[in-house]
Chains A and B, each alone.
Chain A
Amino acid sequence: MSKAKPKLALYWAASCGGCEIAVLAVNEKILDVAAAFDIVFWPVAVDAKVRDVEKMPDGSIDVCLFNGGIRTSEQEYMAQLLRRKSKALVAFGSCAHEGCIPGLANLNNREEIFNTVYKEGSATQPENPKNLRPLPETEVAEGTLHLPVFYDTLKTLNQTVAVDYYLPGCPPEAENILAAVTAIIEGKLPPPGSVIGKNTTVCDECPRKRNEKKIKKFHRTWEIIPDEETCLLEQGLLCCGIATRAGCGALCPAVNSPCIGCHGPNDGVLDFGARMMSALSSVIDSEDPEEINRIIQEGIPDPVGSFYRFSLAASQLRRKHRPANEKSATTK
């Protein structure tokens, strides 16, 4: 193995795994990647152990593509470990970048999530008469075994460790991954801290006809079959393309489905949902407070889910407020 080959690591934290598939979706180009890099750690594809990484000198991994948010103590440990070992840590995909769908669980705490998952009669657990829960600690003859602690709040990668680059998307599109990896190989990366992608929003790539906007009623996607030519937002669908960073080629609007915002906000925008809320409410076509409330309440029954689908964990408020007297779920 040539010493000149840069070392690459990939890791999967709190995410669905789609990002891992996305890496493979570059198809035969993956061979170029494999040829260009020395893949030192990729649990899903390569046989290497955590302790191998622990033994590496700090900063010895050139690039680490880290997907997934931070939901457990183990993920936080891995994030810190890979941060120390990597020269460039890339938050790969929406989960690491903004928390993504797992971050929407920040509308609940651990107890509520466990109730949904483990409680008898819940959607995922019809039978659990003894109300068994994962235990963080188990005593066995050889000593105490630990399960990772499940957090109340999902954090993004950069809320946990310093991040050098962000590759947006749920998952990042193959061509963008390839472009990013090529940039890394060629040393043509943007300044550290950048989101690798375009600096405009999806409308720029969307061929639909746009007019001045005035919205009298918002529709949910199943309520109407939108016209294929005109702007989906003008038809009352909550299309997030106005606020979402371009780079996907307007994939969703192209199939007559509104953009849901997976690429996150444009450069310099602090809070994706705030941008959406501000833009949309600005063009509601009413000056009557009651009618305005009705339009919003009927058309957008779930504002957090609509505007923070991918970015709740990365938003300014990060999660639902927890009153001071709420019992912390991580308490034993």
Chain B
Amino acid sequence: MAERVGIYVCHCGSNIAGMVDVEEVAKWAGVAIPDVVVARDYKFMCSSLGQQMIEEDIKKEKLTRVVVAACSPHLHEKTFRRACQNAGLNPFLCQMTNLREHCSWVSTDRLAATAKAKALVYAAAERVKRQQPLEPMPVKVNPTTLVVGGGIAGIQATLELADAGYKVYLVERSPSIGGHMAQFDKTFPTLDCSACILTPKMSEVGQHENVTLLTYSELEEVSGSVGNFQVKIRKKARHVDYDKCTGCGICIEKCPRKVIDHEFEAGLGYRKAIYTPFPQAVPRIPVIDTESCIWFTRGKCQACSKLCPTQAIDYDQQDETIEIEVGNIIVSTGWNLFDCTKLPQYGYGRLANVYTNMEFERLCNAAGPTNGKILMRDGKTEPDSVAIIHCVGSRDSRHNEGCSAVCCMAALKFGHLVLEKTKAKVYSFYIDMRPNQKAYEEFYQRLLEEGMIFVRGKVAEVTDAARQPSEEGKLIVQAEDTLLGKQQRYPVDMVILMGAMEPQADAKELGLKCGISCSMAGWYTERHPKLDPVATMTDGLFVAGVCQGPKDIPASVAQGAAAAARVMGMITKGTVMIEPIVASIDEEECSGCRICNNLCPFNAIEYDEEKGVSRVVTALCKGCGTCVAACPAGAITGAHFNNQQIMAEIRGALWDAAPEAKEEPAAV
């Protein structure tokens, strides 16, 4: 039976009608396109009257298919699908074609735009006739959530969920939660003590009845899909029994092996071979660094084991993989500092008194290696002058094109701390000053008043090669002051490089495990940059904090809370509807060639060794259609985007092309 198609061409006021002869398009469609039984134009199709018109036509004219030629489906597809559903027509039997964004708004010639509109309508009509009714599938949501990454964003998300009464697993790869924020001394612009505001939250996480904290653990594998993920987590061997240890710290005190702490102390301080990263660590259970431990490297010592009052030391402990089930996952894996040695002209690693921003954070931290005194590498001398260089490895097409967002404010904070703690002069070498949040500009003004010296210009070089006696023994910062238009040399004692925020080195790998894509810069891609900033393309997976893009603490906290709110929405609703736009394999036609087997980034295709066929796990399929296009046997079908539908759309879009193509067989 032929389909009965209704075509609805929207004027959108004058937005479409101003450039496209919509009345002509509707009139033409009613005559020229096969199976069209109604074709109307209307001022605003999306208005309730417009929708009502479609609904009435579906009932009265017994329409089996509907084409709405209006604006982008990203705007109103849901509207018209709902209208169809109200009239008893399956929503997937409605097709929108985009006459506004893709035709009237971008065109300058009314005739050409009208011709294009006709082709678009023809294409949609040919396609819609081949569309099939589809039903979304309901799936129950497991109320337990996994949070990956225990920095401030992850901590916030965890607490929001746990306080709301839901179970949370928080996985952190290092021995303690806290993230970068735990390393800071002060936070801008309020100059709150970072530890003072963070540690209460950390211990809350550690003690919360709804939180299962898995530190020193890594995410191994994610399978399943929204509502029901199965996750494998590897708990790395701490060599300290989690249940027996009381966190008394005797083992750390007595450990004879001291090593440079490249993580928490950024290489400026020491820790023991058995350690917690910092005194307020959560949990307070230490780990043994087996690469440094004398027992592990030389088979001697065992001081910790001998002195532990609860016999918690376990040298034989092995990595353990656990499996958990969760309904949603929040990824908040943070960032890495740019490797400043990649810019050798700034001398980091070669010139002793060139510091990175993270080193300086430790240097001025009261709990840091110098007890908060700003001293040079010799550990004694206070600098007389300090240069802070902005945008090191950021806003730099050779390294990170983007702005790291926090360094301007961090540099101002450093400036303030230097001015407060020493008598040094402080220079800031900036490209643009970007104090663009609440109270940030005020903080900048405060630093101007406090006497920090601002030089607008990118630093060419930091060198110890003196040209004048006054430069002897100094670090000379060579920069163009672009406001003066002059090259200048600034001899200073200490240089701080504001290194860029970079994605974690394994961000892409983790993204692949979970099904989150990365931007070119390596940050996780949100579902919509404005309207859906913490969701991702994979349902049930959310991102929060810097792993999604450089941001400061307030923004990270906001995102952590936002992600938690999204998860709570899912849990409260209890079920999710899974989009029916998925692939499926006809097992009769599948020859088991296995071409499709590793094409799916969501691991939705599995191979049945016994039957010799491949199969799509519907719940995992995101409907991209890549396997459909790849199947050499044509055995895979992509619902709502199948070959017949797209080929019909192509045919319709080219309805007016090369009509002489048809060659009749010669009659004898």
Which residues of chain A come closer than 8 Å to B460, judged between CB atoms?
A: none
Which residue of A has the minimal Cβ distance to B629? Answer: A278
With A243-B632, A266-B633, A279-B631: A212-B594 Cβ-Cβ less than 8 Å: yes
B629 to A268, Cβ gap below 8 A?
A: no
B111 interfacial by beta-carbon distance below 8 Å: no
Pick 26 A–B contacts, CB within 8 A, sort by A: A80-B665, A81-B668, A160-B665, A199-B588, A200-B589, A201-B591, A204-B592, A210-B593, A210-B594, A212-B597, A213-B595, A233-B593, A241-B593, A243-B632, A265-B634, A266-B589, A267-B589, A268-B634, A269-B633, A270-B647, A275-B631, A275-B634, A279-B595, A279-B631, A283-B598, A283-B599
With A161-B665, A268-B634: A213-B629 Cβ-Cβ less than 8 Å: no
Which residue of B has the minimal Cβ distance to A283? Answer: B595
B630 interfacial by beta-carbon distance below 8 Å: yes
Centre residue among B588, B595, B607, B633 by max chain A CB count within 10 A: B633
| With A201-B632, A268-B643, A283-B599 already in contact, 9 other A-B pairs whose C-beta atoms are closer than 8 Å | A77-B668, A202-B591, A210-B592, A242-B632, A267-B634, A270-B643, A275-B631, A276-B632, A282-B630
A246 interfacial by beta-carbon distance below 8 Å: yes
B595 to A269, Cβ gap below 8 A?
A: no
A242 to B595, Cβ gap below 8 A?
A: yes
Q: In chain A, residues 269-294, which have Cβ atoms closer than 8 Å to a Cβ of chain B? A: 269-270, 275-276, 278-279, 282-283
With A76-B666, A80-B665, A80-B666: A204-B591 Cβ-Cβ less than 8 Å: yes
Bound form: Cα–Cα A81–B594 in Å = 45
Bound form: Cα–Cα A211–B597 in Å = 9
Which residues of chain A come closer than 8 Å to B590, judged between CB atoms?
A: 200
Which residues of chain A come closer than 8 Å to B668, judged between CB atoms?
A: 77, 80-81, 84
Which residues of chain A come closer than 8 Å to B630, judged between CB atoms?
A: 278-279, 282-283
B594 to A211, Cβ gap below 8 A?
A: yes
A216 interfacial by beta-carbon distance below 8 Å: no
A206 to chain B, nearest CB (A): 8
A7 interfacial by beta-carbon distance below 8 Å: no
Bound form: Cα–Cα A62–B189 in Å = 93
B349 interfacial by beta-carbon distance below 8 Å: no
Which of A80, A199, A242 interacts with B589 by CB under 8 Å? A199
Number of residue pairs spanning A and B whose beta carbons lie under 8 angstroms apart: 89
A219 interfacial by beta-carbon distance below 8 Å: no
Centre residue among A246, A270, A283 by max chain B CB count within 10 A: A283
A203 interfacial by beta-carbon distance below 8 Å: yes
Which residues of chain A come closer than 8 Å to B138, judged between CB atoms?
A: none
B635 interfacial by beta-carbon distance below 8 Å: yes
B626 interfacial by beta-carbon distance below 8 Å: yes
A239 to chain B, nearest CB (A): 9
Which residues of chain B come closer than 8 Å to A217, judged between CB atoms?
A: none
A149 to chain B, nearest CB (A): 11
B253 to chain A, nearest CB (A): 51
Q: In chain A, residues 71-93, which have Cβ atoms closer than 8 Å to a Cβ of chain B? A: 76-77, 80-81, 84
Bound form: Cα–Cα A242–B668 in Å = 41
10 interchain residue pairs of minimum CB distance:
A243-B632, A204-B591, A203-B591, A279-B632, A242-B632, A282-B630, A203-B593, A201-B591, A242-B593, A269-B634
Q: In chain B, residues 570-606, which have Cβ atoms closer than 8 Å to a Cβ of chain A? A: 588-595, 597-599
Which residues of chain B come closer than 8 Å to A276, judged between CB atoms?
A: 632
Bound form: Cα–Cα A276–B647 in Å = 18
Q: In chain B, residues 615-639, which have Cβ atoms closer than 8 Å to a Cβ of chain A? A: 626, 629-635
Chain A contact-residue range equals: 35 or more
B612 interfacial by beta-carbon distance below 8 Å: yes
B118 to chain A, nearest CB (A): 24
Which of A161, A200, A203, A212 interacts with B598 by CB under 8 Å? A212
Which residues of chain B come closer than 8 Å to A268, judged between CB atoms?
A: 634, 643
Bound form: Cα–Cα A201–B612 in Å = 12
Chain B contact-residue range equals: 20 to 34
Which residues of chain A come closer than 8 Å to B594, judged between CB atoms?
A: 210-213, 231
A214 interfacial by beta-carbon distance below 8 Å: yes
A200 to B599, Cβ gap below 8 A?
A: no
Bound form: Cα–Cα A211–B614 in Å = 12
Which residue of A has the minimal Cβ distance to B634? Answer: A269
Bound form: Cα–Cα A246–B593 in Å = 12
Bound form: Cα–Cα A214–B626 in Å = 16
A positions within 8 Å CB-CB of B = 76-77, 80-81, 84, 160-161, 199-204, 210-214, 231, 233, 241-243, 246, 265-270, 275-276, 278-279, 282-283
Bound form: Cα–Cα A270–B644 in Å = 11
Bound form: Cα–Cα A202–B665 in Å = 34
Centre residue among A80, A231, A269 by max chain B CB count within 10 A: A269
Which residues of chain B come closer than 8 Å to A283, judged between CB atoms?
A: 595, 598-599, 630
Bound form: Cα–Cα A242–B594 in Å = 9
Which residue of B has the minimal Cβ distance to A206? Answer: B591
Which residue of B has the minimal Cβ distance to A234? Answer: B594
Bound form: Cα–Cα A308–B632 in Å = 14
A158 to chain B, nearest CB (A): 10
Which residues of chain A come closer than 8 Å to B592, judged between CB atoms?
A: 203-204, 210
A305 to chain B, nearest CB (A): 18
Which residue of B has the minimal Cβ distance to A269? Answer: B634
A130 to chain B, nearest CB (A): 33
B635 to A266, Cβ gap below 8 A?
A: yes
Q: In chain B, residues 280-303, which have Cβ atoms closer than 8 Å to a Cβ of chain A? A: none
Bound form: Cα–Cα A317–B592 in Å = 29
Which residues of chain A come closer than 8 Å to B632, judged between CB atoms?
A: 201, 242-243, 275-276, 278-279
Bound form: Cα–Cα A241–B598 in Å = 19
A260 to chain B, nearest CB (A): 14
Centre residue among A76, A160, A279 by max chain B CB count within 10 A: A279
Which residue of A has the minimal Cβ distance to B597? Answer: A212
A204 to B612, Cβ gap below 8 A?
A: yes
Bound form: Cα–Cα A265–B589 in Å = 12
Bound form: Cα–Cα A243–B633 in Å = 5
B596 to chain A, nearest CB (A): 8
Which residues of chain B come closer than 8 Å to A279, judged between CB atoms?
A: 593, 595, 630-632
Which residues of chain B come closer than 8 Å to A270, judged between CB atoms?
A: 643, 647
Bound form: Cα–Cα A244–B12 in Å = 50
A283 to chain B, nearest CB (A): 6
Bound form: Cα–Cα A199–B587 in Å = 11
Which residues of chain A come closer than 8 Å to B626, judged between CB atoms?
A: 282
Which residues of chain A come closer than 8 Å to B598, judged between CB atoms?
A: 212-214, 283
Which residue of B has the minimal Cβ distance to A204? Answer: B591
A201 to B633, Cβ gap below 8 A?
A: yes
Bound form: Cα–Cα A77–B665 in Å = 10
Centre residue among B588, B594, B598, B632 by max chain A CB count within 10 A: B632
A126 to chain B, nearest CB (A): 38
Bound form: Cα–Cα A210–B613 in Å = 11
B595 to A282, Cβ gap below 8 A?
A: yes
Which residues of chain B come closer than 8 Å to A282, judged between CB atoms?
A: 595, 599, 626, 629-630
Which residue of A has the minimal Cβ distance to B599? Answer: A282
Interface string of B629-663 (1 = CB under 8 A from A): 11111110000000100010000000000000000
Bound form: Cα–Cα A134–B588 in Å = 51
B665 to A200, Cβ gap below 8 A?
A: no
Bound form: Cα–Cα A270–B629 in Å = 12
Bound form: Cα–Cα A244–B16 in Å = 48
B509 to chain A, nearest CB (A): 15
Which residues of chain B come closer than 8 Å to A243, judged between CB atoms?
A: 632-633
A210 to chain B, nearest CB (A): 5
Which residues of chain B come closer than 8 Å to A210, judged between CB atoms?
A: 592-594
A85 to chain B, nearest CB (A): 12
B607 to chain A, nearest CB (A): 8
Which residue of B has the minimal Cβ distance to A199? Answer: B589
B418 to chain A, nearest CB (A): 46
Centre residue among B595, B599, B635 by max chain A CB count within 10 A: B595
Which of A84, A160, A200 interacts with B633 by CB under 8 Å? A200
A242 to B633, Cβ gap below 8 A?
A: yes
Which residue of B has the minimal Cβ distance to A243? Answer: B632
Which of A84, A201, A269 interacts with B593 by CB under 8 Å? A201
Which residues of chain A come closer than 8 Å to B643, judged between CB atoms?
A: 268, 270
